[in-house]
Amino acid sequence: MSAGAESGVEQVLRQVAPGRYDAYEALLRAVAEGRVWMLLWHGEPGSPEAQYGNMEVEGLGYAPCVTSAQELAASGWNRSHEVVSGRTVAASLYPDRWGLWLNPHAPGGGVGIPWADLRRIAEGMERLPAGPLRLSEPAVEIPQFYALLGQNAHRTPVVRTLRRAWVQPALGTPYLCIGLDLYDSSPAAVEAVRQMMQQSVGVVPEGLPVSTVSMADEYDPVALWMRAHARPFFDRDVYGGGAAAPAGPSGAYGYPQPPQGWQAGAY
């Protein structure tokens, strides 16, 4: 990149603002395809003792970075740094629930990407819904579907429980999500569950999207919400299940507010 030229990340970053979820989605895609300058608190690039800096915003941890050599100079950072692809750093940070904060030195405090969105960058944005998500107990009345799904689950021994949630992404169509709690995740078990869902969705009203999520996924925000707020509507131990618990917040997901100031430490 020539001196003074903006990176693809920087071009999109200027458009991001609270409520501009379209611009934020574009930023995530730019980070996924681009690179960032990670600030090292300890060590040198590639060394075993290398540690990223860290900062905390609204109780969540982030590793600070800058988006170009020009921004690195503007930041005044006087320790080492390393240039890595956005997808690579996303894959390294999200399993430990660390986010990425872009240009914290910039006017306004820069922009943070929480760990749930880093997971989308690392694993494929088209596979996971755009946050922040609004999650609730489904209000749509489809008792025939739930009854048939419960019957088919009863005949599918690998299924322990089923939960449900209504998911409204920041961008895209709302959908019904079924949480699958399974006794094992072998290929045979996955195939049995696929057939169970295929045999059940035929009674869903046309135009109502239905998706599934594994309750064993400790990083999926929908599974995390269902685990905390939704009782099973099918439970093999008490076939028939009960009512759902009250809805609650979905946690941090999507464009957060910038910090009032930042201090780096070791990640």
pTM of this prediction?
0.78
Report the DSSP pairing between strands 210-214 and 175-182: parallel
At residue 241, the pLDDT reads 44
Question: By C-alpha distance, which of 79, 78, 93 is closest to 123?
Answer: 93
Nearest-angstrom CA–CA distance, 129 and 132: 9
DSSP, residue by residue, the chain: --TTPPPHHHHHHTT--TT-HHHHHHHHHHHHHSEEEEEEEES-TT-TT-EEEEEEETTEEEEEEESSHHHHHHHT--S-EEEEEHHHHHHHHGGGT-EEEE-TTSTT--EEE-HHHHHHHHH-GGGSPPSSPEEE---S--HHHHHHHHHHHHT-TTEEEEEEEEEE-SSS--EEEEEEEES---HHHHHHHHHHHHHHGGGSPTT--EEEEETT-TT-HHHHHHHHH---SEEGGGTT--PPPPP----S-S-PPPPS----EE-
At residue 260, the pLDDT reads 45
Nearest-angstrom CA–CA distance, 107 and 123: 31
Each domain of the chain, given as residue ranges in start order, spans 8-131+254-266, 134-238
Per-residue pLDDT of the chain (267 residues; tens, 9 = 90+): 444 556 789 999 999 988 899 999 999 999 999 999 999 998 888 888 889 999 999 899 999 999 999 999 999 999 999 999 999 999 999 999 999 999 999 998 999 999 999 999 999 988 888 888 899 999 999 999 999 999 999 999 999 999 999 999 988 899 999 999 999 999 999 999 999 999 999 999 999 999 999 999 999 999 999 999 999 999 998 864 443 333 333 444 455 555 544 444 444
CB of 100 within 8 A of CB of 30?
no
Report the DSSP pairing between strands 175-182 and 159-168: antiparallel
Nearest-angstrom CA–CA distance, 181 and 175: 19
At residue 181, the pLDDT reads 97
Report the DSSP pairing between strands 134-136 and 159-168: antiparallel
Question: By C-alpha distance, which of 160, 215, 147, 230 is closest to 192?
Answer: 160
CATH architecture of 134-238: 2-Layer Sandwich (3.30)
At residue 152, the pLDDT reads 97
Phi/psi region, residue 182 (left: phi>0; alpha: psi -120 to 50; beta: rest), is beta
At residue 2, the pLDDT reads 46
At residue 114, the pLDDT reads 94
The residue behind tokens 């940070």 is 93
